Structure 1
């Protein structure tokens, strides 16, 4: 994985290091902006030359330096030079605008893709600990903030710098006294800029954090809107959104108070510099120590020198916002996944034998560690067999599947597929061999065909339909007005729960995996859908390995082996008939689900735990 520079302390240096391929474009943009500023100063110099021609005639600079006679001829020369300066200024401005704006767009694109890729590579556990709105805020608002700065702020800073340098050179060549007086405000402005920058830095860091809170809250509430309505919590959630929005407003207000005070300070400094040039320069002209034309240039140049500095307040504001955003972007880029891609492929032919050896696993808590959820778990699923995992809530069923899919790695022990530790396998080799159907089915906004073919984008229409038939989804899909072209909406909201489950099963079947993993695939469906899914599973698991986590025990009665977990350990294992006959934990669960436990409670008789 490519190392990411530390952008939390020196964000601009990190950008320069991280985007090396854009450096030639940066150099070209700087060159064009520099040429543009130089060409922009020339017309004011020529204004002084024109005044010199009118006042001095044959003794003017154009007459003595270029040998042009006649005042009108001299003015024509000045006009031609001015036109050339405007052409150069316009052309360089166009080129600089193209370069800076395209650079801003390219950097924005690269950072957004890189940040998304890093977020995508991070472990499932990291995303469970991090609000999705915070991540969205970085990928959208923060990246856009940096784009605005590169598009506008960088050019403004460069233009101001070269203006100070070029105008300073003109003053230095004219009068060192006027140079000193005109530049008196500059140290005040620079010192003020540094002071304001230091003050604004933490303020805008707080603004970006508050923006992330707003995004996180809005994303969570939009996603949970049905729940909010079901519990008539609209007023409460409106108040919560108002509270985080108020926090964002207050953070901005604190930054605005400081940034707004910057411009009046600069205006007073400009007034002082302009007044000094106006009075002292005029006195020099009256004393014959300074030509009228040069005096005109210096008066205009003073405004040219100082007035752009009024934009420093806005530019500094933009700069601090962008740097705060850049720090957040690089903070995401510096996050490292705990589970890294392996380097091996599954040995051919892939058979699908799954084994867990002495697996110990737990979830990280706030302090970086949490109690074990699985304690030395040993489990073997021979190739081609269907095994089920059952147990009460919190027994460790979902944790086991998380390790099989390598959403996390065990603290101790091994998870092996065909005898190879899954940590050694590439993601493509491991997950390409697995078909996964989760309890909470996620369908993407798009057509039914797109969702079924998600794990195999190149599948033909016939392959998609065959997978749908095996999952008993073809019947209801074909009944839609648009058939397989029906758009299912975000998260498949236009479909029923059972329809979503069968489309998810078809998606897994189309992948043609050697290992099919089902996580509570029938827990939230009706009896008809459950029966349909059971028929599908009986067909698709006939020639492949299957690991099924089930809540409804009726769905796994025919499994080759059932593993009963309790508090992260294997409590029992066997076939359905063996476990019921044993009268243990599984038999108790079976009695509860078949109603025997409730009947015994009413009649006072003992449940018949020994009968299947």
Structure 2
């Protein structure tokens, strides 16, 4: 089975907040109905049973022991009513203290044995479930790491996170609760029915008439509550979304800049008010049916007492038998209700497996080579060659890069310039293999980057982009992502080269300062310099600088540019910059337009041509219109380098 990701994937969180486990949103332990979304999921990506059972390969002994414990628990617990009958009919009337002590001790022993067996069963089943989920969770995370950048741009982050956390967590309930509850309910129902027949076959026949309508009424009450609960969860999901949107760093910034705080508060209050109304309806839903059900439950033992009291139907029934049978009659409802949920539980469980397997079966757009070419990063010269490279994004009719050929000699530099959407960043991303060319090749030292191990390629090619990303950890941990074995002196050297060492040294916690969510504790320029330091620490032979200084002020930009000028010496560099002054000294400048190279040469050569580059530089017959300069505005001759 090969699963594909739809353009607008479903988000399980949009239906149920906090993940959807087995029975979630179905009336708080009441009867379940098959969720249409679960059925649709299985229609899209059916799950062979053998694939689910394969997850438990190697745990056969533990599963067998758990099954035996469940059966033993059900059988042992059935001794209780017979002990009660013996106490009531024999021990108490005859004042048989010895029998009373033995029966009472046996009752305690039965209860203790079933509880001990229950603890052992929980320990074993949870252990198996946790190990299976650990393997599945890590396999899914590792597999998603292999997906291309395109997968994450067309898939909502919430969808990926929900499948990795919510669905996996819900599957924990499947493997440790659902399967064992089905086995427990089945054995308990059978054992209880056998015990009832053994106590009184006449009263058991009566139960066949009474139990079905009682079960039906119980389901009706629970289904009414389920409908209201589903609406509650939908509104809670809305509430969670509003909290996330309104109280995240980005959300608060947007709210304050747009003056939308009061509107957000009013919307939140309206949703919260709806929840108050729904909670009242939930508590009152089916209340009269519940009252009726309680009357039926009270009538059942009354009927049993009536049948037992009539000479024609009692059959010489003893008081002890009557008490024991009444207890069994009441206890058989729970396993029966559990068994009635098996169909819905099965579909819901398989839907969870389907959602996870759907991602596990994704074929990466940028797959690691089966037999990677051996390449020692320390011996790489750094020549980069584009051979007739074309790349088109999925669903786009026109290619972002079309038939581009270029060579950047080892230690040389290539600058890419052009208007927004001309393909500059896309072309540069092919070097780091964030995408694979639709046709053509990108080579480093004559080796196709598709034939290199991804980790080896990451050691060879360093990227500093205009969009920095710092993890929510300390500065030290962020830097060590690039070089886990780096010494502290190396960290400070990289920070100094990026013109940010003084700032870090001035912080109370120094390198151990936590950068905050996405680095928001620091300014944009500070974040950029920390990202540059991280790349410097990696010491790659090939550098891709995509708007590396875009977030810096003039003075800081000059300082960092000086550090970059020192860094690029002896390295192959591909640069995209928002100011032409930063690329004028490149060995070659390529001007892109609609994915094609329309001009190439040095700065002086291109200015002399009087064409597109000259217009961008403000030296030609026509300047770029102000409205097309992107987000950098009128800061000198500029263009937006976002491809």
Is the TM value for this pair above 0.5? yes
Does 2:102 align with 1:77?
yes
- Are 1:494 and 2:521 an aligned pair? yes
Asked if residue 98 in structure 1 is aligned to residue 135 in structure 2, the reply is no
Q: Which runs of 5+ in 2 are unaligned?
A: 5-40, 627-636, 638-643
Residue 521 (structure 1) shift: 0.7
2:375 match: 347
Q: 1:174 to 1:313 in 2, by over 3 A?
A: closer
2-structure distance, mates of 1:517, 1:193: 66
Q: Is the 8 A contact 1:263 1:313 kept in 2?
A: no
Q: Name the counterpart of 1:438.
A: 465
- Gap runs ≥5 in structure 1: 58-69, 600-607
C-alpha separation in 2, matches of 1:320 and 1:258 = 27
Within the alignment, does 1:471 sit opposite 2:498 as a pair?
yes
Q: Give the Å deviation of 1:442.
A: 0.8
- Paired residues of 1:37 and 1:163 also in contact (CA < 8 A): yes
In 2, Cα distance between equivalents of 1:261 and 1:18: 46
Give the direction of change, closer, same or farther, for the CA distance of 1:541–1:55 in structure 2 (3 Å limit). Answer: closer
Name 2:394's counterpart in structure 1. 364
* CA distance in 2 between partners of 1:30 and 1:469 (Å): 63
Q: Match for 2:80 among 43, 60, 67?
A: 43
- Deviation (angstroms), 1:468: 2.0
Match of 1:182 in 2: 207
| 1:576 equivalent in structure 2 | 603
Task: Tell me the secondary structure at the aligned position of residue 394 of structure 1.
Answer: coil
Match of 1:605 in 2: none
Report if aligned partners of 2:308, 2:314 keep a CA contact under 8 Å in 1.
no
- Provide the C-alpha distance between the structure 2 equivalents of 1:9 and 1:252, rounded to a whole number of angstroms: 37
User: Are residue 549 (structure 1) and residue 576 (structure 2) matched?
Assistant: yes
Q: What secondary structure is seen at the aligned counterpart in 2 of 1:414?
A: strand
Alpha carbons of 1:22 and 1:270: their partners in 2 closer, same or farther (altered >3 Å)?
A: farther
Greater alpha carbon shift after TM alignment, 246-255 vs 76-85 = 246-255
Q: Matches of 2:619 and 2:385 in 1, distance apart?
A: 30
RMSD (Å), alpha carbons: 4.5
Aligned to 1:514: 541
Which digits, 9 at most, give the CA deviation of each residue in 1:133-171, with x for residues without a partner? 233333444444444566665555444322211111123
> Is residue 2:423 matched to residue 1:399?
no
Report the TM-score when normalising by structure 2.
Answer: 0.77
- Structure-to-structure mapping, 1:234-313, within 5 angstroms: 234-235=261-262, 274-283=301-310, 287-306=314-333, 309=336
Matched residue, 1:416: 443
Q: Whole-Å Cα distance in 1 between the matches of residues 286 and 186 of structure 2?
A: 20
Preserved contact between residue 186 and residue 335 of structure 2 (Cα < 8 Å): no
Partner of 1:67: none
Name 1:60's counterpart in structure 2. Answer: none
Deviates more, 1:153-162 or 1:397-406: 153-162
Task: Verify the 8 A CA contact 1:149 1:319 in the aligned structure 2.
Answer: no
Instruction: Flag the 1:2–1:11 CA change in 2: closer, same or farther, 3 A.
Output: closer
Give the equivalent residue in structure 2 for 1:86: 111
- 1:533 corresponding residue in structure 2: 560
The whole-number CA distance in structure 2 between the counterparts of 1:332 and 1:258 is 39
Q: TM-score, normalised by structure 1?
A: 0.80
2:25 is matched with which residue? none
Higher RCO structure, 1 or 2 (CA under 8 Å, sep 6+): 2
Deviates more, 1:92-101 or 1:544-553: 92-101
Counterpart for residue 135 of structure 1 = 160
Partners of 2:202 and 2:382 in 1: how far apart?
87
Classify the secondary structure of the residue corresponding to 2:589.
strand
Which of residues 483, 486, 489 in structure 1 aligns to 2:510?
Answer: 483
**Which structure features the higher share of helix residues?**
1
Kindly state the Cα deviation for residue 183 of structure 1 after the two structures are TM-superposed: 3.6
Deviating more after overlay: 475-484 vs 38-47:
475-484
CA drift at 1:503: 1.5
| Cα pair 1:134 1:215 within 8 Å, conserved | no
Structure 1 residue 224 corresponds to structure 2 residue 250: yes
Distance, in Å, in 2 between the alignment partners of 1:47 and 1:251 is: 45
State the distance in 2 between where 1:256 and 1:266 align: 16
Question: What are the Cα deviations for residues 384-434 of structure 1, in whole angstroms up to 9, with x where unaligned?
Answer: 111111111010012112322222222222222222222222211222211
- Residue 59 of structure 2 is aligned to residue 34 of structure 1: no
The total of aligned residue pairs comes to 584
**Structure 1 residues 136 and 347, CA, compared in 2 at 3 Å: closer, same or farther?**
closer
Q: Distance in 2 between matches of 1:25 and 1:201?
A: 36
Distance 1:149 1:259 in 2: 29
2: CA distance between counterparts of 1:309 and 1:263? Answer: 18
- Using the TM superposition, give the Cα deviation of residue 338 of structure 1 relative to its aligned residue in structure 2, in angstroms: 1.8
- Cα pair 2:415 2:575 within 8 Å, conserved: yes
Does the C-alpha gap of structure 1 residues 440 and 23 become closer, same or farther in structure 2, counting only changes over 3 Å?
farther
